[in-house]
Structure formats: structure tokens, C-alpha cells
Amino acid sequence: MKKMIWLAGIILLGWPVAAQETAEAVTQASTDTVSAAVAAQDPAERNKMLYSLGFLLGDNLKRQLVLDNEDDYKALSQGMRDSLLNKPSQTVLDEYKPQIIEKYKQDAQIISQKRAEEQKEYLENFSKEKGVKVLDNGAMIKLSKKGKGRTAKADSKVTVHYEGRLIDGTKFDSSYDRQEPFTTKLTDVIPCWTKAMQQMRPSAKATVVCPADTAYGNRPVGIIPPNSALVFTVEMISIDD
């Protein structure tokens, strides 16, 4: 099987790379320096940072659990609050661990089925848009700018700018954000890219839609859930054999 891109960060490592670099920088700083920086932080900014952390934790939880109503949210948040404040649990935790495990299993199936239905609908609708070309492996491409010159070959090296999103609009990587184009051989990327990049000429721009089996399949990659279709906007900068 062809090697997959963990996207120049996520096509080889975007947000996780930035987080890793930040963690490494903090590790290299002295404890005194870090402590002084935290102590000097404006209280309002600290609250915003902690709110953001809480929001991200909640976002992660909702990708794994089905929470149906306000009572669900209240019970979950109360348990988290009691734990964070070192209060005693209001339940005998060991008694509920089997139910917790079962909920994760059941919810994973529900979420997976819902995602499959949403992606099927998205892929069907995109395939019907004017100008969309469905490639032989199921990947789809819609050129917004044709470009000039020759197209890439299956083993060409290409330099591109790109942005990757899930079908719900969640951005998981962007060379634009890094302000640095991405260079790769087409033998080293996900199958969707290998095929789609061969449809593009220098200066071409396109939307590329990758069904899950042409991307990462059933493997979770960073914030990309398993069995996810991916949507890329791509600008071809150059092609080099």
C-alpha cells in the first residue's frame, strides 16, 4: 500500500505539529521562567484560555458520546466539576464503569452510522455539481482554474498550497496557515491525492474530495475521525519529475 501523508503535518502534521513544537518550547524553558509567565498572565486572558480549553475538551467529548438533552449535559458537567474541585464522587464509580464502557461502544456505533450517512449524502451531492470529475478510484476533483503547462505523472514531485477540511467544515490542516507551500512526491501521498494531482497543471486551482477509502480509511489521524471523507482546496504551484 502506498504511504499516507500525515498531511505536511496532518498531510505530514498541521495543528498537532504546532502543539508539539509549543510543548517542546515550554519544556526547554526554565521552570522559573514558565512560572513567572503564568503568574503575570492577565486574569481575563487566563479565563479565556481556560474557557477555550474547556470548549476543546467538550468538542472532543461530543465526537465520542451521544448527549441527548440538557440533563445529560448537567450531569456530565457536574461530575467533571466535582472531580476538578476534589469533591467526593456522588456515585460508587466502580459500579458504573461497565455502563460507561457500554455507552462508549454504543455511541461509537451511532456516531459512525450518522457520519456514514452524512458523508454518503455529501459525496453524492458533490458528484452532481457542474464540472466535477469522478476519478477511477472514486476521488473527485472540480477545477476552478485550469492552469497551464503539463499535468503531473503518478511519480512526479509537486509543490502545492492546500487547505484540508472535514465535510462539516472543520479545518484540520493548511499550508496557507503555515505560510509555506508543501512539496511531495505523488507516490508518498494518500491515493486520492495521487490521482487528483495528475489532473492539475501549474497555477491550477481545484476542490478535491476524497472518500474515506482513498484517504485514511478506518484509521483516526489527529482530529480526523475514522472513515472520514476529506475536502481539500488545492493550488498547484509547480510540477517536477
**Active-site annotation, residues:** 162, 172-173, 190, 216, 232
Contact 101, 95 (CB under 8 A): no
Beta-carbon contacts of residue 150 (< 8 Å; ≥ 6 apart): 201, 239
* Pairing status of strand 182-185 against strand 157-166: antiparallel
Give the span between the Cα atoms of 171 and 224, in whole angstroms: 10
What does residue 215 show for φ and ψ, rounded to 5 degrees? -120, -105
**Do β-strands 205-210 and 140-145 pair in parallel, antiparallel, or remain unpaired?**
antiparallel
Kindly state the cell numbers that stand for 117: 450517512
Place of cell 470548549: 55
Supply the DSSP string of 98-167, one letter for each residue: HHHHHHHHHHHHHHHHHHHHHHHHHHHHHHTSTTEEE-TTS-EEEEEE--SSPPPPTT-EEEEEEEEEET
Classify 88 as helix, strand or coil. Answer: coil
